[in-house]
Amino acid sequence: MLTQYAAAGQGEKEVVRTNAMIEIDQGLCKGCLLCVHACPKDLIEVSSGLNEKGYYPVVFREKGMRKDKRQCTGCCICAVCCPEIAIEVYRG
């Protein structure tokens, strides 16, 4: 797993992990956008097509991207805030 080092104040270093990924169940998503606004990396956006429930589901911007290029940290904020439990997070 790639790592980046970010200053954490007082001269300490905090390891920030990247190249995790999420999967969004398009059928469960009701397009509430909670995850879109919650992602600190702005990695989730609204899709252009409707799902079977008549909602515009969201999609992961880094879907299909090479692992070493992904910026998703696997922080799980998106999954925790989703009321439909439509998001799964994969790390490593």
Tokens at 80, concatenated? 């925790």
Q: Which amino acid is at 19?
A: N
What's the Cα-to-Cα distance from 36 to each of 13, 15, 64, 80, 86, rounded to whole Å? 28, 24, 19, 12, 13
Q: Which of 22, 45, 68, 90 binds ligand SF4 (CB under 6 A)?
A: 22
Contact between 87 and ligand SF4 by CB under 6 A: the answer reads yes
Per residue in 5-40, is it b (16+ CB within 10 Å) or e — as a string?
eeeeeeeeeeeeebbbbbebebebbbbeebbeeebe
Identify residues 53-82 at the interface with ligand SF4 (CB under 6 A). 57-58, 72-78, 81-82
Kindly state the smallest distance separating residue 38's Cβ from ligand SF4, in Å.
Answer: 6
Contact between 89 and ligand SF4 by CB under 6 A: the answer reads yes
Kindly state the smallest distance separating residue 11's Cβ from ligand SF4, in Å.
Answer: 26
Kindly state the smallest distance separating residue 10's Cβ from ligand SF4, in Å.
Answer: 25
Contact between 34 and ligand SF4 by CB under 6 A: the answer reads yes
